[in-house]
Structure 1
């Protein structure tokens, strides 16, 4: 059967790639209010692709009235077989300056075995991988399949929690595959089993009623920008480890992340040392990180010789798995208030929040997934952490506590440059990911009856013309 599926995936791949290119051409930027028509078009194209692939039912839903619609498509479960929920998102990041791209961001182009374009890896490749899997079975997968393609992931999935609650019965599944991560390296498949959370705030320092002459008053009157710099410097100790008290450190990862590889992937300048202590994987997956994301202060060009009366900065904490985001944000605020230099006035305004999450990568679904990915890639899958927050993973876990969750890559790798210029998808790994997902569906079909969710949301057979 695995050879048959390999041939089937290879056969459908050219059409899937053509459809992926068409999706990339749609500028479905969820952060842009003016892009609502493009998001609608992207959702309609996605729904049409799965309908043509044999879905028994497809829907375009915008419950929250945001103009960022989601797509639901259902392939009913054969009797006694489990149901799998396959997730991706059709919205993308803004392209930024098109002139900074080697090729136009929304004109897909294949060069050097990679498909370039905004959304090629994150996450229209996820849509395409799901499409390839169901097409490989001729529209009749051996398990129930529910497709959910979200339209607001790139702005933090603000309404997803409510959406999942409202549609819980339709989305219930034995296994949930969230295809929105990266492999550890090209050709090295990975399941993301831990994710750091996020807690952010804006801190403002005030010292004067108005700006005053730096020569006449400097040396006695405090200026806010210098005070802010001193305050921000207290976020780290001399080694570069986060100095905010009360934050959690997770158990050490088992994967070794070579420092030279990390330096190259992070584009660290020659001679500049890394910060923090412990292995690279410890620092980016299992420990908190503090970053000053932005500062509001006078620009260098045209700055007067005056003491600055007020300055502010956005501070972000990445939280280790096992921490609690609201508690950590409160600890950050307390640290900033307690470390105000010279008695200056400090105000902290709460900002972004996302819970960290850890997944138990054991059990029959994970055993089946490891077999499938080993067959597809020709090597064992490894478990990795994610340094960034993916808030929707915790949302799914909270809504479906009995489901097994897998966070997979639809072919993305550390060189895919998601969210950056020249985003791309490694096409050989994309084919591996498509095959792995098809093999996974086949492996899950062989699992014993797992209970009341087995029949899926719709157990009637698909219409005869859906094959």
Structure 2
């Protein structure tokens, strides 16, 4: 099938693709503990039937020891044809009212800018419908062998890594296509080549045996919350660069985001400066970042005039591609243990070591993907990083050590606002990604070859 035919077929399919997206956005499939299980189960069964309808007739919910099941399926291609695994996930983030949504997060809403708003519309329902559209282009009969894996707990404690480790034979392939990413801007194609890792710890600071009256003892008696604040302040210099000795930095040579793009997509308040120095791309994908993502101490509603004897903070540090999580966490722990003010007692509990990921970019499948994307978008393809960590990719790499990886998707960084209020997707990105994926499958089956839409 030639590129023009693929593009025309995709264009004709788009109304149905959008209907699928609207149907799935309406299901609050939040897999986090404490949320009802019925919507996640409904999303699993609905998604399962959708993929059966497009050709994955043997699609099934796989048994896992705990949590929501992944969906697995295969379509056998011609003998000797390449084997491609398509990945996405069917769970979504919560959408609490305090996030400040301007439309119902569980109703797909088309606004004046042409984007479709709703929780999961981008992350990762757009990936699901991209795979659905790709199979429809071929009437459910792709030109090579295609496997499908849809995760049900990507946004929380994933159970897929253990499943892959237990069933590596299911994931034998030539190429993994991870459709859970996005271009930096709409219409500007980019392959994601680097993912940051994530290490975390809980630091506890103690200064007193028990609470003390702040009027009687305030001044000379050290307050644990103030000690914790001073300790956390040592993690950055005045510009906001990380000051932890021994953490890894690299050089970013791919596509970049402008400061205006970042300010807009992050909704940084007027007058508030961005942190760090140097190009935004380097700050995002070539240097570590450190954040306190939770603090435990007396809350305001129950506070009184006392000095706090103990305070805790959960620290998350994103680490650069190519680094080793254990070594980066060692450096963070050493910093926290050695920078306590006033001799405060510090204990650090390690809680997470998620590895970063680097794509191999010199293989034939990656080259075919770059060519397919360039044809679909009508522009040269850049390379971008991603701040999110996906430990699953390292597990897949171990299960299929000879396979290549392609990371892309319709979740454009500048406007999609994944995990935040008013999450949205541009349907033109979905359309172009369907064309891209269909072209990729065709080129892999044909042994590559160039044409234009």
User: What TM-score, normalized by structure 2, do the two folds share?
Assistant: 0.94
Task: State whether residues 92 and 120 of structure 2, in contact with CA within 8 Å, keep that contact through their aligned partners in structure 1.
Answer: yes
Report the counterpart of residue 61 of structure 2 in structure 1.
60
Deviation at 1:356, TM superposition (A): 1.0
Deviation at 1:315, TM superposition (A): 1.0
Report the counterpart of residue 462 of structure 1 in structure 2.
none
Report the counterpart of residue 38 of structure 2 in structure 1.
37
Larger mean CA deviation between 438-447 and 11-20 belongs to: 11-20
Q: How does 1:338-349 map to 2 (within 5 A)?
A: 338-349=338-349
- Secondary structure of 1:5's counterpart equals helix
Larger mean CA deviation between 99-108 and 117-126 belongs to: 99-108
User: What TM-score, normalized by structure 1, do the two folds share?
Assistant: 0.92
Deviation at 1:33, TM superposition (A): 4.3
Larger mean CA deviation between 427-436 and 162-171 belongs to: 162-171
- Secondary structure of 2:155's counterpart equals helix
- Give the whole-Å Cα distance in 1 for the aligned partners of 2:59 and 2:220: 69
Q: Does 1:443 align with 2:443?
A: yes
Deviation at 1:439, TM superposition (A): 1.0
The CA deviation string for residues 231-274 of structure 1, in whole angstroms up to 9 with x for no partner, is: 11111123321111111112233323222222222222333322
Task: State whether residues 91 and 151 of structure 2, in contact with CA within 8 Å, keep that contact through their aligned partners in structure 1.
Answer: yes
Report the counterpart of residue 101 of structure 1 in structure 2.
101
Q: How does 1:286-365 map to 2 (within 5 A)?
A: 286-301=286-301, 303-365=303-365
- Secondary structure of 1:148's counterpart equals strand
Report the counterpart of residue 265 of structure 1 in structure 2.
265
- Give the whole-Å Cα distance in 2 for the aligned partners of 1:179 and 1:144: 18
| RMSD of aligned residue pairs (Cα, Å) | 1.7
Report the counterpart of residue 130 of structure 2 in structure 1.
129
Unaligned 5+ residue runs, structure 2?
A: 449-453
Deviation at 1:36, TM superposition (A): 2.1
Q: Does 1:15 align with 2:34?
A: no
Deviation at 1:59, TM superposition (A): 1.1
Report the counterpart of residue 178 of structure 1 in structure 2.
178
Report the counterpart of residue 373 of structure 1 in structure 2.
373
Deviation at 1:404, TM superposition (A): 0.5
The CA deviation string for residues 383-409 of structure 1, in whole angstroms up to 9 with x for no partner, is: 101122222222222222210001111
- Give the whole-Å Cα distance in 1 for the aligned partners of 2:50 and 2:238: 54
- Give the whole-Å Cα distance in 2 for the aligned partners of 1:33 and 1:297: 23
Cα distance change on mapping 1:398 and 1:251 into 2, 3 Å = farther
Task: State whether residues 171 and 400 of structure 2, in contact with CA within 8 Å, keep that contact through their aligned partners in structure 1.
Answer: no
Q: State the aligned residue count.
A: 446
- Secondary structure of 1:209's counterpart equals coil
Q: How does 1:180-219 map to 2 (within 5 A)?
A: 180-219=180-219
- Secondary structure of 2:84's counterpart equals strand
Deviation at 1:98, TM superposition (A): 7.2
Deviation at 1:410, TM superposition (A): 3.2
Larger mean CA deviation between 355-364 and 120-129 belongs to: 355-364
The CA deviation string for residues 257-295 of structure 1, in whole angstroms up to 9 with x for no partner, is: 222222222222333322222211111110001111122
Task: State whether residues 93 and 419 of structure 2, in contact with CA within 8 Å, keep that contact through their aligned partners in structure 1.
Answer: yes
Report the counterpart of residue 150 of structure 2 in structure 1.
149
Task: State whether residues 101 and 421 of structure 1, in contact with CA within 8 Å, keep that contact through their aligned partners in structure 2.
Answer: yes
Deviation at 1:303, TM superposition (A): 3.1
Task: State whether residues 98 and 104 of structure 1, in contact with CA within 8 Å, keep that contact through their aligned partners in structure 2.
Answer: no
Task: State whether residues 133 and 434 of structure 1, in contact with CA within 8 Å, keep that contact through their aligned partners in structure 2.
Answer: yes
Cα distance change on mapping 1:264 and 1:434 into 2, 3 Å = same
- Give the whole-Å Cα distance in 2 for the aligned partners of 1:36 and 1:267: 32
Deviation at 1:302, TM superposition (A): 5.5
- Secondary structure of 2:371's counterpart equals helix
- Give the whole-Å Cα distance in 2 for the aligned partners of 1:33 and 1:229: 31
Task: State whether residues 294 and 315 of structure 1, in contact with CA within 8 Å, keep that contact through their aligned partners in structure 2.
Answer: yes
Report the counterpart of residue 396 of structure 1 in structure 2.
396
Report the counterpart of residue 458 of structure 1 in structure 2.
none
Deviation at 1:428, TM superposition (A): 1.1
Larger mean CA deviation between 72-81 and 280-289 belongs to: 72-81
Deviation at 1:298, TM superposition (A): 2.8
Report the counterpart of residue 4 of structure 2 in structure 1.
3
Larger mean CA deviation between 373-382 and 47-56 belongs to: 47-56
Task: State whether residues 291 and 317 of structure 1, in contact with CA within 8 Å, keep that contact through their aligned partners in structure 2.
Answer: yes
Report the counterpart of residue 277 of structure 1 in structure 2.
277
- Give the whole-Å Cα distance in 2 for the aligned partners of 1:239 and 1:102: 34
Task: State whether residues 240 and 275 of structure 1, in contact with CA within 8 Å, keep that contact through their aligned partners in structure 2.
Answer: yes
- Give the whole-Å Cα distance in 1 for the aligned partners of 2:391 and 2:178: 12
Larger mean CA deviation between 232-241 and 117-126 belongs to: 232-241
- Give the whole-Å Cα distance in 2 for the aligned partners of 1:134 and 1:61: 21
Unaligned 5+ residue runs, structure 1?
A: 449-467
Report the counterpart of residue 245 of structure 2 in structure 1.
245
Task: State whether residues 87 and 179 of structure 2, in contact with CA within 8 Å, keep that contact through their aligned partners in structure 1.
Answer: yes
Task: State whether residues 89 and 150 of structure 2, in contact with CA within 8 Å, keep that contact through their aligned partners in structure 1.
Answer: yes
Report the counterpart of residue 162 of structure 2 in structure 1.
162
- Give the whole-Å Cα distance in 2 for the aligned partners of 1:221 and 1:413: 47
The CA deviation string for residues 69-99 of structure 1, in whole angstroms up to 9 with x for no partner, is: 1111211121221111000000000111178
Cα distance change on mapping 1:171 and 1:302 into 2, 3 Å = closer
